[in-house]
Amino acid sequence: MRTSSLNPAAILERLHLGAHSAEQGPLPPALDAEVRHLDTWSAGRLAYYVDTRGGGRPVVLLHAVDAAASSREMAPLFEALRRERPVYALDLPGFGLSDRAERTYDVALFRSAVRRFLTDVVRAPDGVDVIALSLSSEFAAAVACEDKTLVHSLTLISPTGLRHDLNGASAILRVASHVPLVAEGLFRLIGSRPSVRWFLGKSFQGEPDRDLLEYSVRTAAAPGARHAPLAFISGDLFTDGAFERLYVPLTVPTLVVYDSDPYTSFERLDELVKRNPHVVAEHLTPTRGLPHFERPWAVVGAIKKFWAQFDTT
């Protein structure tokens, strides 16, 4: 469930949806894979999934940032690639099985977590192939710009930062997210099962993926689930001027996979492709922001074709 352009009217219309889902015991793993942990000073303990039975260059999967985010959002790609490559999927700070303590969640924290993960866990001498979804594309691009030795290539699925106006919530929601009691009530609403299903459903042409929906409901009900999403809702996790500051300067091969997305748009993608020779685009239609769920083999095929150009398999 992504909410990168929340509409206050839509939120208010859903006040009848009821309270937050009750907790249902410990959150289970999002993927059927080994779970490991990385302890960090700034973000606490980070959880990640790994399958290293494949050979070649490692692949790192970064889920989106939203009210119910987790590595479950990358499940189709993890399953498709795990037999061919070493594959890692990181639960970002405040999400999934990672530490959800109350702290300052900002752009620097997420960039640092991704950089630390690539440096201390994956440790690929020639960099890794990163596949990032939505807002995580900005974090991945920032790390690639800061130290291209860590990233061999980028695949950005439905990335933010390519629209003419700013991503993020309205002024009303920005203010509300910083008022503790109001913010807690807001997240209880957004994290309820009917609301999760409504938001997630907008990212699918048909019915939302059932397993993703069920896990999204569970992870939104976990203790501390509100902290990182409220920073997202407030707009604190978006990079101002991401187009010029993150995407135009990229010097690593970059593939953008996109179609129609209810939470962002790609108005400047053609401009980016013209200005940056390292960026190519793959338009996969009809999809609604999660093409790797709706057309998994088309997405995997596009990624493998992209990788083959740089002899990364």
**211-228: pLDDT as tens digits:** 999 999 999 999 999 999
Kindly report the pTM of this predicted structure: 0.90
- Residue 241 is predicted with a pLDDT of 95
- Residue 14 is predicted with a pLDDT of 40
Low-confidence ranges of the chain (pLDDT < 50): 3-23, 312-313
Only one residue has tokens 């596949």, namely 131
Alpha carbons 233 and 145: distance in angstroms, whole number: 26
The Cα angle at residue 75 between residues 73 and 79, in degrees rounded to 5: 165
59-62 vs 44-51, strand pairing mode: unpaired
- Residue 312 is predicted with a pLDDT of 45
Which structural domains are found in the chain, ordered by start? 8-308 (3.40.50.1820)
- Residue 2 is predicted with a pLDDT of 58
- Residue 189 is predicted with a pLDDT of 84
* Structure tokens, 52: 């290293």
